[in-house]
Amino acid sequence: MPREVAGIGVHAIYVGTERRLSETQRQVQNLESLITNSDSASRGPEKASTHNNYSAQAHFHDTAGFENALSTFQQHLEYSWPGGDRSSHRASFCSAIFHHTGSHFDLDNFFRQVTDSYQSRYGIEEKKQATSQWPDKRLVRNCIEYYDRKGLYSVFPIVDIRVVRELFDAGVLDDPSKASPVANKACLVAFTALIAQLHRHSPMFAHAKPDAYVRAVLSLLPDLFMEEADVRTLETFIILTIYIPPTGQSYPAEMMLAAAVRILYKLGGHRQNNPDGDQGTHNHYHIRSLFWLSYWMDKEMSLRACREPMINDASCDLELPSTYVSQSSTYQFLQAPLSSDILLYPSDLRLALIKSKIYRLLHSDSGRAHPESTRMQRILELDQELSALESSFPAHCQPHVFATPDCPLYAFHDLSMRGVTLHLDYYYCVKRIHEASAACSTQYSFSSGMGLSHQTSRCMLLYINQVKSFITWHSFWIYAQWLLSAVISLFYHCMSNPTSPTFSGDLEILENTRDIFSSLMRSTEEGKCIAPFYITEAFVDTLIRFAKQSYMKATAI
Protein backbone atom coordinates (compact mmCIF):
# COMPACT_ATOMS: atom_id res chain seq x y z
CA MET A 1 0.00 0.00 0.00
CA PRO A 2 1.45 3.45 -0.94
CA ARG A 3 2.53 5.44 2.08
CA GLU A 4 0.35 8.44 1.22
CA VAL A 5 -2.75 6.21 0.87
CA ALA A 6 -2.00 4.52 4.16
CA GLY A 7 -1.59 7.94 5.74
CA ILE A 8 -4.97 9.05 4.43
CA GLY A 9 -6.51 5.85 5.78
CA VAL A 10 -5.07 6.41 9.23
CA HIS A 11 -6.20 10.01 9.12
CA ALA A 12 -9.69 8.94 8.10
CA ILE A 13 -9.89 6.49 10.97
CA TYR A 14 -8.69 9.20 13.35
CA VAL A 15 -11.22 11.71 12.02
CA GLY A 16 -13.98 9.09 12.15
CA THR A 17 -13.16 8.33 15.76
CA GLU A 18 -13.12 12.03 16.60
CA ARG A 19 -16.48 12.50 14.89
CA ARG A 20 -17.95 9.54 16.74
CA LEU A 21 -16.67 10.90 20.03
CA SER A 22 -18.06 14.36 19.23
CA GLU A 23 -21.47 12.90 18.35
CA THR A 24 -21.54 10.84 21.53
CA GLN A 25 -20.64 13.86 23.62
CA ARG A 26 -23.44 15.80 21.96
CA GLN A 27 -25.92 13.05 22.82
CA VAL A 28 -24.71 12.89 26.39
CA GLN A 29 -25.01 16.67 26.74
CA ASN A 30 -28.77 16.34 27.12
CA LEU A 31 -28.16 14.15 30.15
CA GLU A 32 -25.50 16.33 31.77
CA SER A 33 -28.05 17.87 34.07
CA LEU A 34 -28.47 14.41 35.58
CA ILE A 35 -24.77 13.77 35.96
CA THR A 36 -22.97 14.91 39.07
CA ASN A 37 -19.23 15.38 39.34
CA SER A 38 -18.18 12.89 36.70
CA ASP A 39 -14.46 12.91 37.48
CA SER A 40 -14.73 11.99 41.15
CA ALA A 41 -17.51 9.46 40.60
CA SER A 42 -15.75 7.58 37.81
CA ARG A 43 -12.62 7.08 39.90
CA GLY A 44 -14.36 4.33 41.82
CA PRO A 45 -16.07 3.62 45.13
CA GLU A 46 -13.17 4.28 47.42
CA LYS A 47 -12.25 7.65 45.87
CA ALA A 48 -15.65 9.10 45.00
CA SER A 49 -16.83 12.09 46.94
CA THR A 50 -20.17 11.66 48.66
CA HIS A 51 -21.05 15.36 48.42
CA ASN A 52 -20.54 16.60 44.89
CA ASN A 53 -21.96 19.94 43.76
CA TYR A 54 -23.96 20.02 40.58
CA SER A 55 -25.99 22.35 38.42
CA ALA A 56 -29.12 24.00 39.76
CA GLN A 57 -30.90 22.30 36.86
CA ALA A 58 -29.73 18.86 37.92
CA HIS A 59 -32.19 18.02 40.63
CA PHE A 60 -32.54 14.43 39.59
CA HIS A 61 -35.40 12.81 41.49
CA ASP A 62 -35.97 15.99 43.50
CA THR A 63 -39.51 16.63 42.29
CA ALA A 64 -40.53 16.97 45.92
CA GLY A 65 -39.15 20.50 45.56
CA PHE A 66 -41.65 23.00 44.18
CA GLU A 67 -39.79 24.34 41.15
CA ASN A 68 -39.08 20.91 39.68
CA ALA A 69 -42.48 19.57 40.73
CA LEU A 70 -44.26 22.39 38.89
CA SER A 71 -42.25 21.82 35.71
CA THR A 72 -42.88 18.09 35.84
CA PHE A 73 -46.60 18.59 36.53
CA GLN A 74 -46.86 20.86 33.48
CA GLN A 75 -45.20 18.21 31.31
CA HIS A 76 -47.63 15.51 32.47
CA LEU A 77 -50.59 17.84 32.05
CA GLU A 78 -49.63 18.57 28.44
CA TYR A 79 -50.04 14.86 27.64
CA SER A 80 -53.40 14.61 29.41
CA TRP A 81 -55.63 16.43 26.92
CA PRO A 82 -57.93 14.19 24.85
CA GLY A 83 -56.16 12.88 21.80
CA GLY A 84 -52.76 13.90 23.04
CA ASP A 85 -52.66 16.94 20.71
CA ARG A 86 -51.24 19.21 23.35
CA SER A 87 -51.32 22.82 22.16
CA SER A 88 -54.59 22.80 20.23
CA HIS A 89 -56.58 20.94 22.89
CA ARG A 90 -55.19 23.07 25.68
CA ALA A 91 -56.39 26.21 23.88
CA SER A 92 -59.76 24.59 23.12
CA PHE A 93 -60.12 23.53 26.75
CA CYS A 94 -59.55 27.07 28.07
CA SER A 95 -61.90 28.49 25.45
CA ALA A 96 -64.62 26.00 26.44
CA ILE A 97 -64.33 27.06 30.10
CA PHE A 98 -65.03 30.66 29.13
CA HIS A 99 -68.00 29.57 26.98
CA HIS A 100 -69.64 27.53 29.76
CA THR A 101 -68.75 29.68 32.78
CA GLY A 102 -68.05 33.19 31.53
CA SER A 103 -64.73 33.08 33.37
CA HIS A 104 -61.27 33.10 31.84
CA PHE A 105 -58.87 30.27 32.66
CA ASP A 106 -55.27 31.08 31.86
CA LEU A 107 -53.08 28.10 32.75
CA ASP A 108 -49.93 30.21 32.94
CA ASN A 109 -51.64 32.57 35.35
CA PHE A 110 -52.90 29.60 37.36
CA PHE A 111 -49.36 28.29 37.74
CA ARG A 112 -48.13 31.73 38.85
CA GLN A 113 -50.87 31.88 41.48
CA VAL A 114 -50.03 28.39 42.74
CA THR A 115 -46.37 29.37 42.96
CA ASP A 116 -47.16 32.52 44.96
CA SER A 117 -49.52 30.59 47.23
CA TYR A 118 -46.97 27.86 47.91
CA GLN A 119 -44.14 30.28 48.57
CA SER A 120 -46.26 32.40 50.90
CA ARG A 121 -46.98 29.33 53.02
CA TYR A 122 -43.68 27.46 52.84
CA GLY A 123 -41.17 30.06 51.72
CA ILE A 124 -38.72 29.95 48.83
CA GLU A 125 -36.79 26.69 48.84
CA GLU A 126 -33.02 26.57 48.81
CA LYS A 127 -31.31 24.69 46.03
CA LYS A 128 -30.32 21.28 47.30
CA GLN A 129 -26.95 19.69 46.85
CA ALA A 130 -26.91 16.34 45.11
CA THR A 131 -24.72 13.44 46.10
CA SER A 132 -23.03 10.84 43.98
CA GLN A 133 -22.07 7.76 45.92
CA TRP A 134 -21.09 4.15 45.37
CA PRO A 135 -22.95 1.51 47.38
CA ASP A 136 -21.34 -0.50 50.11
CA LYS A 137 -20.37 -3.99 48.99
CA ARG A 138 -22.52 -5.53 51.70
CA LEU A 139 -25.56 -3.72 50.32
CA VAL A 140 -24.79 -4.94 46.80
CA ARG A 141 -24.60 -8.52 48.04
CA ASN A 142 -27.86 -8.10 49.99
CA CYS A 143 -29.61 -6.86 46.85
CA ILE A 144 -28.36 -9.81 44.81
CA GLU A 145 -29.51 -12.32 47.41
CA TYR A 146 -32.83 -10.54 47.99
CA TYR A 147 -33.61 -10.43 44.25
CA ASP A 148 -32.84 -14.13 43.90
CA ARG A 149 -34.60 -15.26 47.09
CA LYS A 150 -37.80 -13.29 46.39
CA GLY A 151 -38.07 -14.42 42.76
CA LEU A 152 -38.12 -10.81 41.55
CA TYR A 153 -37.00 -11.87 38.07
CA SER A 154 -40.67 -12.73 37.57
CA VAL A 155 -41.75 -9.06 37.57
CA PHE A 156 -38.46 -7.34 36.75
CA PRO A 157 -36.27 -9.63 34.60
CA ILE A 158 -33.50 -7.02 34.64
CA VAL A 159 -30.34 -9.08 35.23
CA ASP A 160 -29.01 -12.58 34.79
CA ILE A 161 -28.57 -13.20 38.49
CA ARG A 162 -25.98 -15.93 37.97
CA VAL A 163 -23.72 -13.63 35.97
CA VAL A 164 -24.23 -10.68 38.31
CA ARG A 165 -23.26 -12.81 41.29
CA GLU A 166 -20.13 -13.99 39.47
CA LEU A 167 -19.15 -10.41 38.66
CA PHE A 168 -19.59 -9.38 42.27
CA ASP A 169 -17.55 -12.33 43.52
CA ALA A 170 -14.85 -11.49 40.99
CA GLY A 171 -14.45 -8.10 42.65
CA VAL A 172 -15.41 -5.73 39.81
CA LEU A 173 -16.33 -3.13 42.44
CA ASP A 174 -13.09 -3.55 44.42
CA ASP A 175 -10.46 -2.04 42.17
CA PRO A 176 -11.48 0.37 39.41
CA SER A 177 -8.09 -0.10 37.75
CA LYS A 178 -8.89 -3.74 36.91
CA ALA A 179 -9.36 -4.48 33.23
CA SER A 180 -13.12 -4.84 33.39
CA PRO A 181 -15.74 -3.29 31.11
CA VAL A 182 -17.39 -0.23 32.63
CA ALA A 183 -20.77 -1.88 32.00
CA ASN A 184 -20.02 -4.55 34.61
CA LYS A 185 -19.63 -1.97 37.35
CA ALA A 186 -22.49 0.19 36.07
CA CYS A 187 -24.86 -2.77 35.94
CA LEU A 188 -24.12 -3.86 39.51
CA VAL A 189 -24.57 -0.35 40.91
CA ALA A 190 -27.73 0.42 38.91
CA PHE A 191 -29.18 -2.94 39.97
CA THR A 192 -28.45 -2.13 43.62
CA ALA A 193 -30.11 1.27 43.31
CA LEU A 194 -33.29 -0.15 41.78
CA ILE A 195 -33.73 -3.00 44.27
CA ALA A 196 -33.02 -0.72 47.22
CA GLN A 197 -35.57 1.78 45.90
CA LEU A 198 -38.32 -0.70 45.03
CA HIS A 199 -37.99 -2.41 48.41
CA ARG A 200 -37.00 0.60 50.50
CA HIS A 201 -39.33 -0.51 53.32
CA SER A 202 -37.26 -3.62 53.94
CA PRO A 203 -35.02 -3.13 57.02
CA MET A 204 -31.93 -4.23 55.10
CA PHE A 205 -32.34 -1.26 52.73
CA ALA A 206 -33.33 1.32 55.34
CA HIS A 207 -30.06 3.26 55.06
CA ALA A 208 -29.53 2.88 51.32
CA LYS A 209 -29.22 5.96 49.09
CA PRO A 210 -30.43 4.71 45.70
CA ASP A 211 -30.61 8.17 44.08
CA ALA A 212 -26.95 8.76 44.90
CA TYR A 213 -26.04 5.38 43.37
CA VAL A 214 -27.94 6.21 40.17
CA ARG A 215 -26.03 9.47 39.89
CA ALA A 216 -22.81 7.49 40.13
CA VAL A 217 -23.98 5.29 37.25
CA LEU A 218 -25.00 8.34 35.21
CA SER A 219 -21.45 9.64 35.56
CA LEU A 220 -20.31 6.57 33.58
CA LEU A 221 -22.54 7.29 30.57
CA PRO A 222 -19.77 8.66 28.31
CA ASP A 223 -17.73 5.47 28.84
CA LEU A 224 -20.80 3.29 28.38
CA PHE A 225 -21.61 4.93 25.05
CA MET A 226 -18.05 4.48 23.77
CA GLU A 227 -17.63 0.90 25.00
CA GLU A 228 -18.63 -2.10 22.88
CA ALA A 229 -22.15 -2.90 24.06
CA ASP A 230 -23.01 -6.29 25.56
CA VAL A 231 -25.77 -7.75 27.75
CA ARG A 232 -24.51 -5.90 30.84
CA THR A 233 -24.73 -2.60 28.95
CA LEU A 234 -28.26 -3.50 27.91
CA GLU A 235 -29.23 -4.37 31.48
CA THR A 236 -27.80 -1.06 32.74
CA PHE A 237 -29.84 1.07 30.34
CA ILE A 238 -33.02 -0.91 31.00
CA ILE A 239 -32.59 -0.56 34.77
CA LEU A 240 -32.14 3.21 34.37
CA THR A 241 -35.25 3.30 32.16
CA ILE A 242 -37.24 1.64 34.95
CA TYR A 243 -35.74 3.77 37.71
CA ILE A 244 -36.27 7.22 36.21
CA PRO A 245 -40.04 7.43 35.29
CA PRO A 246 -41.31 7.32 38.91
CA THR A 247 -39.32 10.54 39.41
CA GLY A 248 -41.58 12.14 36.81
CA GLN A 249 -38.80 12.75 34.31
CA SER A 250 -39.95 11.10 31.10
CA TYR A 251 -37.41 12.53 28.63
CA PRO A 252 -34.27 11.08 30.28
CA ALA A 253 -36.07 7.74 30.54
CA GLU A 254 -36.78 7.84 26.80
CA MET A 255 -33.09 8.55 26.15
CA MET A 256 -32.09 5.50 28.18
CA LEU A 257 -34.66 3.31 26.45
CA ALA A 258 -33.46 4.48 23.04
CA ALA A 259 -29.96 3.25 23.87
CA ALA A 260 -31.37 -0.04 25.18
CA VAL A 261 -33.41 -0.63 22.02
CA ARG A 262 -30.38 -0.13 19.77
CA ILE A 263 -28.45 -2.69 21.81
CA LEU A 264 -31.39 -5.11 21.76
CA TYR A 265 -31.40 -5.08 17.97
CA LYS A 266 -27.64 -5.50 17.90
CA LEU A 267 -27.86 -8.57 20.15
CA GLY A 268 -30.78 -10.07 18.21
CA GLY A 269 -33.24 -9.71 21.08
CA HIS A 270 -36.02 -8.72 18.69
CA ARG A 271 -35.93 -12.18 17.09
CA GLN A 272 -37.19 -15.44 18.57
CA ASN A 273 -34.51 -17.60 16.93
CA ASN A 274 -31.34 -17.96 18.95
CA PRO A 275 -28.35 -16.59 16.99
CA ASP A 276 -25.84 -18.33 19.29
CA GLY A 277 -27.12 -21.86 18.85
CA ASP A 278 -27.50 -24.33 21.69
CA GLN A 279 -24.62 -22.87 23.73
CA GLY A 280 -26.39 -19.55 24.13
CA THR A 281 -29.93 -20.76 24.87
CA HIS A 282 -30.03 -19.44 28.44
CA ASN A 283 -28.46 -16.14 27.40
CA HIS A 284 -30.93 -15.64 24.56
CA TYR A 285 -33.86 -16.48 26.84
CA HIS A 286 -32.70 -13.68 29.14
CA ILE A 287 -32.23 -11.24 26.25
CA ARG A 288 -35.75 -12.03 25.04
CA SER A 289 -37.03 -11.36 28.56
CA LEU A 290 -35.27 -7.99 28.38
CA PHE A 291 -36.84 -7.41 24.95
CA TRP A 292 -40.36 -7.78 26.33
CA LEU A 293 -39.58 -5.52 29.27
CA SER A 294 -38.33 -2.89 26.80
CA TYR A 295 -41.34 -3.47 24.53
CA TRP A 296 -43.74 -2.88 27.42
CA MET A 297 -41.97 0.37 28.43
CA ASP A 298 -41.75 1.57 24.83
CA LYS A 299 -45.46 1.15 24.11
CA GLU A 300 -46.35 2.73 27.45
CA MET A 301 -44.25 5.83 26.71
CA SER A 302 -45.51 6.00 23.13
CA LEU A 303 -49.21 5.97 24.02
CA ARG A 304 -48.84 8.36 26.95
CA ALA A 305 -47.03 10.97 24.86
CA CYS A 306 -48.70 10.10 21.53
CA ARG A 307 -45.26 9.75 19.95
CA GLU A 308 -43.80 7.19 17.58
CA PRO A 309 -42.55 4.10 19.43
CA MET A 310 -38.90 3.11 19.19
CA ILE A 311 -39.64 -0.55 18.52
CA ASN A 312 -41.21 -1.32 15.16
CA ASP A 313 -43.52 -4.32 15.51
CA ALA A 314 -42.97 -5.31 11.89
CA SER A 315 -39.27 -5.97 12.53
CA CYS A 316 -39.82 -8.09 15.66
CA ASP A 317 -41.02 -11.56 16.58
CA LEU A 318 -43.90 -10.88 18.95
CA GLU A 319 -44.37 -14.36 20.33
CA LEU A 320 -44.89 -14.06 24.09
CA PRO A 321 -42.40 -15.88 26.36
CA SER A 322 -43.25 -19.53 26.95
CA THR A 323 -43.13 -18.93 30.72
CA TYR A 324 -45.45 -15.92 30.61
CA VAL A 325 -48.25 -16.21 33.20
CA SER A 326 -51.57 -17.72 32.19
CA GLN A 327 -54.10 -15.17 31.02
CA SER A 328 -56.77 -16.39 33.42
CA SER A 329 -54.54 -16.61 36.49
CA THR A 330 -55.25 -14.61 39.66
CA TYR A 331 -51.45 -14.47 39.93
CA GLN A 332 -51.70 -11.35 37.74
CA PHE A 333 -53.75 -9.40 40.29
CA LEU A 334 -53.37 -10.76 43.82
CA GLN A 335 -50.47 -10.77 46.23
CA ALA A 336 -48.62 -14.07 46.18
CA PRO A 337 -45.05 -15.37 46.46
CA LEU A 338 -43.15 -14.86 43.22
CA SER A 339 -41.31 -17.50 41.24
CA SER A 340 -38.56 -16.85 38.71
CA ASP A 341 -39.99 -19.73 36.67
CA ILE A 342 -43.01 -17.58 35.74
CA LEU A 343 -42.74 -14.23 33.98
CA LEU A 344 -45.27 -11.61 35.10
CA TYR A 345 -43.76 -8.24 34.18
CA PRO A 346 -45.03 -5.01 35.80
CA SER A 347 -48.22 -5.10 33.69
CA ASP A 348 -49.87 -7.37 31.13
CA LEU A 349 -47.85 -7.76 27.93
CA ARG A 350 -51.09 -8.24 26.00
CA LEU A 351 -52.04 -4.69 26.91
CA ALA A 352 -48.69 -3.56 25.51
CA LEU A 353 -49.54 -5.25 22.20
CA ILE A 354 -52.92 -3.52 22.14
CA LYS A 355 -51.32 -0.16 23.03
CA SER A 356 -49.11 -0.53 19.99
CA LYS A 357 -52.20 -0.92 17.81
CA ILE A 358 -54.04 1.96 19.52
CA TYR A 359 -51.25 4.35 18.71
CA ARG A 360 -50.51 3.07 15.21
CA LEU A 361 -54.12 2.75 14.04
CA LEU A 362 -55.71 5.74 15.81
CA HIS A 363 -53.23 8.32 17.10
CA SER A 364 -50.30 8.24 14.68
CA ASP A 365 -50.19 10.72 11.79
CA SER A 366 -51.05 7.96 9.34
CA GLY A 367 -53.88 6.70 11.56
CA ARG A 368 -55.42 10.17 11.84
CA ALA A 369 -55.27 10.61 8.07
CA HIS A 370 -57.77 7.83 7.39
CA PRO A 371 -61.44 8.59 6.70
CA GLU A 372 -63.78 8.79 9.68
CA SER A 373 -65.52 5.55 8.68
CA THR A 374 -62.20 3.68 8.78
CA ARG A 375 -61.29 5.20 12.12
CA MET A 376 -64.67 4.28 13.63
CA GLN A 377 -64.26 0.71 12.40
CA ARG A 378 -60.83 0.53 14.00
CA ILE A 379 -62.17 1.97 17.26
CA LEU A 380 -64.82 -0.75 17.31
CA GLU A 381 -62.33 -3.52 16.57
CA LEU A 382 -59.83 -2.37 19.20
CA ASP A 383 -62.60 -1.98 21.77
CA GLN A 384 -63.70 -5.57 21.08
CA GLU A 385 -60.12 -6.83 21.39
CA LEU A 386 -59.68 -5.05 24.70
CA SER A 387 -63.04 -6.34 25.97
CA ALA A 388 -62.04 -9.88 25.04
CA LEU A 389 -58.87 -9.51 27.08
CA GLU A 390 -60.77 -8.20 30.09
CA SER A 391 -63.37 -10.97 29.93
CA SER A 392 -60.59 -13.56 30.10
CA PHE A 393 -59.52 -12.27 33.52
CA PRO A 394 -60.90 -14.19 36.53
CA ALA A 395 -64.42 -12.91 37.25
CA HIS A 396 -63.52 -11.48 40.68
CA CYS A 397 -60.41 -9.74 39.26
CA GLN A 398 -62.03 -7.79 36.44
CA PRO A 399 -61.65 -3.97 36.70
CA HIS A 400 -65.37 -3.14 36.84
CA VAL A 401 -65.73 -5.23 40.02
CA PHE A 402 -63.60 -2.65 41.86
CA ALA A 403 -64.58 0.60 40.12
CA THR A 404 -67.79 1.17 42.05
CA PRO A 405 -68.39 3.45 45.05
CA ASP A 406 -69.93 0.65 47.10
CA CYS A 407 -67.22 -1.97 46.51
CA PRO A 408 -66.30 -3.28 50.00
CA LEU A 409 -62.80 -2.44 51.19
CA TYR A 410 -62.01 -6.07 51.94
CA ALA A 411 -62.17 -6.75 48.20
CA PHE A 412 -58.95 -4.75 47.84
CA HIS A 413 -57.15 -6.51 50.67
CA ASP A 414 -55.24 -9.03 48.57
CA LEU A 415 -54.89 -6.85 45.49
CA SER A 416 -51.26 -6.31 44.53
CA MET A 417 -49.79 -3.07 43.25
CA ARG A 418 -49.35 -4.87 39.93
CA GLY A 419 -53.08 -5.65 39.95
CA VAL A 420 -53.92 -1.98 40.58
CA THR A 421 -51.58 -0.89 37.78
CA LEU A 422 -53.08 -3.45 35.40
CA HIS A 423 -56.64 -2.30 36.09
CA LEU A 424 -55.81 1.39 35.61
CA ASP A 425 -53.76 0.49 32.55
CA TYR A 426 -56.81 -1.25 31.10
CA TYR A 427 -59.05 1.77 31.71
CA TYR A 428 -56.46 4.09 30.19
CA CYS A 429 -56.45 1.97 27.02
CA VAL A 430 -60.26 2.15 26.83
CA LYS A 431 -60.07 5.90 27.22
CA ARG A 432 -57.38 6.31 24.55
CA ILE A 433 -59.43 4.24 22.11
CA HIS A 434 -62.68 6.17 22.54
CA GLU A 435 -61.21 9.65 22.69
CA ALA A 436 -59.60 9.06 19.28
CA SER A 437 -62.56 10.84 17.68
CA ALA A 438 -61.24 14.06 19.24
CA ALA A 439 -57.67 13.51 18.11
CA CYS A 440 -58.10 15.05 14.66
CA SER A 441 -60.13 18.06 15.77
CA THR A 442 -59.38 21.10 17.90
CA GLN A 443 -62.92 20.95 19.30
CA TYR A 444 -64.09 18.43 21.85
CA SER A 445 -66.35 15.79 20.38
CA PHE A 446 -69.67 14.82 21.91
CA SER A 447 -69.85 11.57 19.99
CA SER A 448 -70.77 8.30 21.64
CA GLY A 449 -67.05 7.55 21.67
CA MET A 450 -66.32 10.56 23.86
CA GLY A 451 -69.27 9.57 26.00
CA LEU A 452 -67.57 6.25 26.65
CA SER A 453 -64.37 8.14 27.39
CA HIS A 454 -66.18 10.14 30.09
CA GLN A 455 -67.64 6.95 31.56
CA THR A 456 -64.18 5.42 31.63
CA SER A 457 -62.80 8.51 33.37
CA ARG A 458 -65.52 8.14 35.97
CA CYS A 459 -64.51 4.51 36.54
CA MET A 460 -60.82 5.44 36.77
CA LEU A 461 -61.44 8.07 39.43
CA LEU A 462 -63.79 5.81 41.40
CA TYR A 463 -61.10 3.16 41.31
CA ILE A 464 -58.34 5.59 42.32
CA ASN A 465 -60.44 6.75 45.27
CA GLN A 466 -60.77 3.13 46.36
CA VAL A 467 -57.03 2.44 46.17
CA LYS A 468 -55.76 5.81 47.37
CA SER A 469 -53.46 4.06 49.84
CA PHE A 470 -51.36 3.02 46.83
CA ILE A 471 -50.69 6.69 46.01
CA THR A 472 -47.52 7.78 47.76
CA TRP A 473 -44.71 10.20 47.00
CA HIS A 474 -42.83 7.33 45.32
CA SER A 475 -45.72 6.25 43.09
CA PHE A 476 -47.43 9.56 42.35
CA TRP A 477 -45.81 10.24 38.97
CA ILE A 478 -46.69 6.73 37.79
CA TYR A 479 -50.39 7.49 38.27
CA ALA A 480 -50.27 11.25 37.56
CA GLN A 481 -51.13 11.23 33.87
CA TRP A 482 -53.87 8.63 34.26
CA LEU A 483 -55.38 10.72 37.06
CA LEU A 484 -55.05 14.09 35.30
CA SER A 485 -56.44 12.70 32.07
CA ALA A 486 -59.48 11.31 33.88
CA VAL A 487 -60.00 14.50 35.92
CA ILE A 488 -59.94 16.71 32.80
CA SER A 489 -62.34 14.43 30.93
CA LEU A 490 -64.88 14.12 33.76
CA PHE A 491 -64.67 17.83 34.57
CA TYR A 492 -65.33 18.72 30.94
CA HIS A 493 -68.35 16.44 30.94
CA CYS A 494 -69.68 18.11 34.12
CA MET A 495 -69.07 21.62 32.84
CA SER A 496 -70.68 21.03 29.45
CA ASN A 497 -73.63 19.09 30.90
CA PRO A 498 -74.43 20.90 34.18
CA THR A 499 -78.08 19.84 34.18
CA SER A 500 -77.27 16.17 33.63
CA PRO A 501 -78.59 13.69 36.24
CA THR A 502 -75.00 12.56 36.79
CA PHE A 503 -73.68 16.08 37.56
CA SER A 504 -73.84 15.94 41.35
CA GLY A 505 -72.37 12.44 41.50
CA ASP A 506 -69.56 13.34 39.12
CA LEU A 507 -68.82 16.51 41.06
CA GLU A 508 -68.58 14.44 44.23
CA ILE A 509 -66.07 12.13 42.53
CA LEU A 510 -63.93 15.15 41.61
CA GLU A 511 -64.18 16.51 45.17
CA ASN A 512 -63.16 13.14 46.62
CA THR A 513 -60.21 13.04 44.25
CA ARG A 514 -59.12 16.51 45.40
CA ASP A 515 -59.46 15.40 49.01
CA ILE A 516 -56.99 12.54 48.42
CA PHE A 517 -54.25 15.13 48.02
CA SER A 518 -55.54 17.31 50.85
CA SER A 519 -55.23 14.29 53.10
CA LEU A 520 -51.80 13.37 51.77
CA MET A 521 -50.51 16.86 52.53
CA ARG A 522 -51.85 16.74 56.10
CA SER A 523 -50.22 13.37 56.73
CA THR A 524 -46.68 14.48 55.85
CA GLU A 525 -44.11 14.42 58.61
CA GLU A 526 -42.74 17.52 60.35
CA GLY A 527 -45.22 19.79 58.59
CA LYS A 528 -43.46 19.41 55.27
CA CYS A 529 -45.50 19.74 52.12
CA ILE A 530 -44.87 17.52 49.13
CA ALA A 531 -45.15 19.95 46.25
CA PRO A 532 -46.76 17.65 43.61
CA PHE A 533 -49.65 17.00 45.99
CA TYR A 534 -50.07 20.74 46.61
CA ILE A 535 -50.17 21.53 42.88
CA THR A 536 -52.55 18.66 42.09
CA GLU A 537 -54.97 19.65 44.83
CA ALA A 538 -54.99 23.25 43.58
CA PHE A 539 -55.56 22.19 39.97
CA VAL A 540 -58.46 19.83 40.75
CA ASP A 541 -60.00 22.38 43.13
CA THR A 542 -59.90 25.04 40.40
CA LEU A 543 -61.72 22.75 37.96
CA ILE A 544 -64.34 21.97 40.60
CA ARG A 545 -65.03 25.70 41.05
CA PHE A 546 -65.45 26.10 37.29
CA ALA A 547 -67.85 23.14 37.20
CA LYS A 548 -69.94 24.79 39.93
CA GLN A 549 -69.93 28.07 37.99
CA SER A 550 -71.26 26.30 34.89
CA TYR A 551 -74.07 24.85 37.01
CA MET A 552 -74.94 28.26 38.46
CA LYS A 553 -74.94 29.80 34.99
CA ALA A 554 -77.13 27.04 33.54
CA THR A 555 -79.68 27.15 36.37
CA ALA A 556 -79.82 30.92 36.81
CA ILE A 557 -83.26 32.39 36.33
pLDDT in tens, 409-437: 778 888 999 999 999 999 999 999 988 87
Residue 422 CA to residue 248 CA, distance in Å, equals 19
What single DSSP character describes residue 44? Answer: -
Least confident among 121-135, 350-364, 368-382, 456-470: 121-135
Least confident among 13-27, 130-144, 506-520: 13-27
The model's pTM: 0.87
Residue 54 CA to residue 34 CA, distance in Å, equals 9
- Residue 157: CB atoms within 10 Å: 25
pLDDT band at 3 (very low <50, low <70, confident <90, very high): very low
Q: Is the pLDDT of residue 224 over 50?
A: yes
Q: Which amino acid is at 237?
A: F
**What's phi and psi for 415, nearest 5 deg?**
-70, 130
Is-contact 120 76, C-beta < 8 A? Answer: no
pLDDT score, position 176: 59
- List, in order, residues 6 or more apart from 549 with CB less than 8 Å away: 101, 102, 103
Average pLDDT of the chain, as a whole number: 84
- List, in order, residues 6 or more apart from 217 with CB less than 8 Å away: 186, 189, 190, 193, 236, 240
CA 9 centroid distance within chain: 46
Q: Which amino acid is at 479?
A: Y
Report which of 534, 479, 134, 410 is spatially closest to residue 402, judged by C-alpha positions. Answer: 410
Report which of 376, 271, 374 is spatially closest to residue 319, judged by C-alpha positions. Answer: 271
pLDDT band at 10 (very low <50, low <70, confident <90, very high): very low
pLDDT score, position 526: 57
pLDDT per position as a tens digit, 312-369: 999 999 999 999 987 667 888 999 899 888 999 999 999 999 999 999 999 999 998 9
The stretches of 409-474 forming alpha helices (DSSP H) are 417-434, 448-466
More confident residue, 352 or 474: 352
